[in-house]
Structure 1
Amino acid sequence: MRIDLHAHSTASDGTDTPAELVRNAAGAGLDVVALTDHDTVGGYGEALAALPAGLTLVTGAELSCRLDGVGVHMLAYLFDPEEPELARERELVRDDRVPRARTMVGKLQDLGVDVTWEQVARIAGDGSVGRPHIATALVELGVVPTVSDAFTPDWLADGGRAYAEKHELDPFDAVRLVKAAGGVTVLAHPAAVKRGRCVPESAIAALAAAGLDGIEVDHMDHDADTRARLRALAADLGLLTTGSSDYHGSRKTCRLGEYTTDPEIYGEITRRATGAFPVPGAGGRER
């Protein structure tokens, strides 16, 4: 059984539509895929309608958080999407994305980059605009060779020359809100040092004590030594360990199913969840 619990669509910063994502997941030989767009479940309906037979869809979101100035991404699974307090927080984050992106475009222009808001808006389309869309604009302009190269102090990394803050959740509040909505929380790529500063292990321990369910261990931004260290930390803290691709379509080099989650861990996630349930595909429809 092949399970990928971290993938993005055009509802946020991926390049596959939700329908394309589930079809591509089936084509990659996955049995289960989680749609975890940034701060939104807006793509879930389309993904569900197109869900191929043999593929199970897990609803989720990747929540934007910040702790002591460090960006934290919290994967939330199988929560009730209608729960009002969590829905309100997701909306606050999404609403702040456009003014934040406009600010970053202005900073890039001040740095001499010939980027425009119209270009970024075209790239984002109907998705929730974010730094990867701005990074894609920099690639189009030849400023950087890849999206990943835009996430440096020179450009869009936390604290970088063109960085701008947005409304973000406290991760302890995120754990509380997701749990209240019947969901399960997993800290995404907690040691992805290429992305910038990471929270210390003491913070992960504190989150575990507050109800965090797991950490994402097997991820393209964790080398073998880091994965071993995180696995040992999870064992000490009683946390689940997941593996996922963090797929973004053509925007990143990772492939669906590049890293996967153990079926027993997936089973435990579904057992803990009460807000929503995985949905098996029944053939879907083309879109």
Structure 2
Amino acid sequence: MRIDLHTHSTASDGTDTPAELVRNAAAAGLDVVALTDHDTTRGHAEARAAVPEGLTLVTGAELSCRLDGVSMHMLAYLFDPDEPELLRERELVRDDRVPRAQAMIAKLRELGVPVTWEQVARIAGDGSVGRPHIATALVELGVVPTVSDAFTREWLADGGRAHVDKHETDPFEAVRLVKAAGGVTVLAHPAAAKRGRTVSESAIADLSAAGLDGIEVDHMDHDAATRDRLRGLAKELGLLVTGSSDYHGSRKTCRLGEYTTDPEIYGEITRRAAGAFPVPGTGGPFGA
């Protein structure tokens, strides 16, 4: 059983539509895929309608958080998307994305990069605009060779020359809100140091005590030594260990199913969830 619990669609900063994503997940040999767009559940309905027979969809989101000045992401699974408190917080984060992107564009222009809001808006399309869309614009302009190369201190990484902070949720509050909405929380790529500063192990321990369910260990931004260290930390704290691709379509090099989650861990996530249920594919109208 192959399970990938972290993917993105055009509802945020991926390049596959939600329907394309679930079809591509099935074609990649996955049995379970989670749709976890940034701070939004807008792609869920299309994905639900398109789940091919033989694939199960887990609905979720990747929540933007910040602790002591460190940006971090919280994967939330199988929560009630209409729970008012969590919905309000997601909308606060999402509504800050446009002015933040415009401020980063202004910084880039001050640095001599001829990027425009019109270019970034075209790239974002109907998705929630974010740094990957600006990074794609930098690739189009020949400023950097790949999207990943834009996420450095020279450009868009935390603390970078063109970086601008946005509204982000306190992770302890995120855990509380997701739990109240019946969901399960997993800290995404907690040691992805190339993205910027990362949270300390003591902070992860505090989040565990506050109800965090797991940490994403097997991820493209964690080398083998880091994965071993995080696995040991998870065991010490009694946290679930997940693995995921963090797939963004053609925007990143990672492939669907590049890293996967153990079926027993997936089973435990579904047992803990009370806000929503996995969606088994029925070969709906958008199916292959």
Taking structure 2 as the reference length, the TM-score comes to 0.99
The equivalent of 1:123 in structure 2 is 123
Q: Residue 132 of structure 1 aligns to which amino acid in structure 2?
A: P
Q: Residue 223 of structure 1 aligns to which amino acid in structure 2?
A: D
SS at 1:156's partner residue?
coil
The equivalent of 1:235 in structure 2 is 235
The equivalent of 1:154 in structure 2 is 154
> Is the contact made by 1:34 and 1:60 (CA closer than 8 Å) also made in structure 2?
yes
- Rounded to whole Å, the distance in 2 between the matches of 1:204 and 1:114 is 40
- Rounded to whole Å, the distance in 2 between the matches of 1:286 and 1:205 is 43
The equivalent of 1:272 in structure 2 is 272
The equivalent of 1:196 in structure 2 is 196
* Aligned pairs (5 A) from 1:1-287: 1-286=1-286
SS at 1:76's partner residue?
strand
> Is the contact made by 1:51 and 1:285 (CA closer than 8 Å) also made in structure 2?
no
SS at 1:9's partner residue?
coil
- Rounded to whole Å, the distance in 1 between the matches of 2:183 and 2:144 is 38
- Rounded to whole Å, the distance in 1 between the matches of 2:199 and 2:135 is 24
SS at 1:133's partner residue?
helix
The alpha carbon displacement at 1:206 in A equals 0.3
- Rounded to whole Å, the distance in 2 between the matches of 1:167 and 1:190 is 19
- Rounded to whole Å, the distance in 2 between the matches of 1:59 and 1:129 is 21
Q: Residue 112 of structure 1 aligns to which amino acid in structure 2?
A: G
SS at 2:59's partner residue?
strand
SS at 1:185's partner residue?
strand
The alpha carbon displacement at 1:221 in A equals 0.4
**Structure 1 moving runs of 4+ over 4 Å:** none
Q: Residue 178 of structure 1 aligns to which amino acid in structure 2?
A: V
- Rounded to whole Å, the distance in 2 between the matches of 1:286 and 1:243 is 28
Unaligned runs of 5+ in 1: none
Number of residue equivalences: 287
SS at 1:242's partner residue?
strand
SS at 1:230's partner residue?
helix
- Rounded to whole Å, the distance in 1 between the matches of 2:174 and 2:125 is 27
> Is the contact made by 1:182 and 1:273 (CA closer than 8 Å) also made in structure 2?
yes
- Rounded to whole Å, the distance in 2 between the matches of 1:151 and 1:71 is 13
Give RMSD over aligned pairs: 0.6
- Rounded to whole Å, the distance in 2 between the matches of 1:279 and 1:65 is 27
The alpha carbon displacement at 1:286 in A equals 2.7
SS at 1:286's partner residue?
coil
- Rounded to whole Å, the distance in 1 between the matches of 2:275 and 2:46 is 20
Deviations 1:48-97 (A, max 9, x none): 11110000000000000000111110000000000000000000000000
SS at 1:190's partner residue?
coil
The alpha carbon displacement at 1:284 in A equals 1.8
- Rounded to whole Å, the distance in 2 between the matches of 1:15 and 1:284 is 22
Deviations 1:159-216 (A, max 9, x none): 1110111110000000000000000000000000110110010000000000000000
SS at 2:65's partner residue?
strand
- Rounded to whole Å, the distance in 2 between the matches of 1:35 and 1:99 is 26
- Rounded to whole Å, the distance in 2 between the matches of 1:279 and 1:4 is 14
- Rounded to whole Å, the distance in 1 between the matches of 2:177 and 2:277 is 18
Q: Residue 164 of structure 2 aligns to which amino acid in structure 1?
A: A
- Rounded to whole Å, the distance in 2 between the matches of 1:114 and 1:71 is 27
SS at 2:274's partner residue?
coil
- Rounded to whole Å, the distance in 2 between the matches of 1:90 and 1:225 is 34
- Rounded to whole Å, the distance in 2 between the matches of 1:237 and 1:73 is 19
- Rounded to whole Å, the distance in 1 between the matches of 2:285 and 2:32 is 18
Taking structure 1 as the reference length, the TM-score comes to 0.99
- Rounded to whole Å, the distance in 2 between the matches of 1:47 and 1:286 is 9
SS at 1:40's partner residue?
coil
